Amino acid sequence: MKVFRTFALGATLTLLASGAYAADAVLPEAAAPVAPAAPAYTWSGPYAGGFVGYNFAHFDQSGGASFNGEGVVGGVYAGYSLQTERFVYGLEGDIGASDVDAGGFNVATGVPISADSTAFGSLRARVGIDYDPILLFATGGVAVSNKELTLRGANDDQTHVGYTVGAGVEAKVANGVTSRVEYRYSNFENKTYDLGNVSVSSGFDEHSIRAGLALKF
């Protein structure tokens, strides 16, 4: 009987100790759910958009004379990009219309001469570095531009070929939508204009600041 009481007392003490331990035990809290990381923007693929800008042009004439002009430009652009890690590269083309007007005096006659820009375009390579969701890029390639010169009521137009280089920044503004700001410098070959009984050789260069908005497909 004494052995039984000793066993019962030991069992009771063991149960009490187990209950106290269980009461003092702290259950681990469930880990807070982790929100999935936003996917990085991918620049690969085709895109197309429109732009507006402002050009500053400098025209030269045979004989050393020159004159300046400025005006609004606008048009569309499209391209295709590939991306390798942070390096983005591809081809882009644009076409647009210009309201750049310039004027001065013709060297041979001393009478006013004016130059008007009409249409232009380019085909360029584009390379950039991705800083998600921003792209810093540089661009360069071949450019064409149509100009019309007017002297004493006579006019002639020519298409000039040249080069264009520039740089800019582009950013994602929504899914599949990007905006950009860029600077471009373009330089065009001389062309000879037949203006009545006067021939004028003229080339020009342009500085352009543009803003664009595009859809990525």
pLDDT tens for 196-211 read 888 889 999 999 999 9
The mean pLDDT value for 102-129 works out to 90
Q: Which residue has the higher pLDDT, 18 or 88?
A: 88
What is residue 15's predicted lDDT score, i.e. its pLDDT? 43
Share above pLDDT 70 across residues of the chain, in percent, rounded to a whole number? 82
Contact (Cβ atoms closer than 8 angstroms) between residue 55 and residue 100: yes
Q: How high is the mean pLDDT of the chain?
A: 86
Q: Is the pLDDT of residue 29 over 80?
A: no
Handedness of CA 171, 172, 176, 179 (dihedral sign): negative
What is residue 33's predicted lDDT score, i.e. its pLDDT? 60
Q: Is the pLDDT of residue 22 over 90?
A: no
Q: What pTM was estimated for this model as a whole?
A: 0.80
What is residue 23's predicted lDDT score, i.e. its pLDDT? 45
pLDDT tens for 42-70 read 999 999 999 999 999 999 888 777 889 99
